[in-house]
Structure 1
Amino acid sequence: MFYTYNLSSYISGIIFSKINIIRYIERYIKYYNEQRIKEKLGWMSPVQYRLNLLAA
């Protein structure tokens, strides 16, 4: 995983510090857990799916 981030930072010409990499990973995890749309969930985000279940 670190190799991928290291390679992408080299390719884009931006050198990321450890703090920036950690922030990027935290933002991605938050996106993955809350905002991404998933086919298995009926093309809803996980948050929308949970709210939909509570409303039913």
Structure 2
Amino acid sequence: LTHLFKKFHGRYGYKRITNELKKLGHYINHKKVYRIMRELGLKCVKFMRKSRKYNSYKGNVGKVAKNRLSRRFSTPIPL
């Protein structure tokens, strides 16, 4: 397990190491791999998934038509 972790320069977490072990023919549960990595102090720090805040901003949606009839689109100020 440690040689796989070092082989990928500490970029692989428990899920990817489990997949690599399966490719090598060692069928081991991902929970067991996670537990062993935690006990050995192996933690993937170089590769982290980025999470973003929710942002509903869409920018300028649609198109404003040209004022070809020279209409005044302002309302009169009440007295």
Larger relative contact order (CA 8 Å, sep ≥ 6):
2
Category of TM-score, reference length = shorter chain: 0.3 to 0.5
* TM score, norm. by length of structure 1: 0.34
Please tell me whether Structure 1 or Structure 2 has the larger radius of gyration of its CA atoms.
2
* TM score, norm. by length of structure 2: 0.27
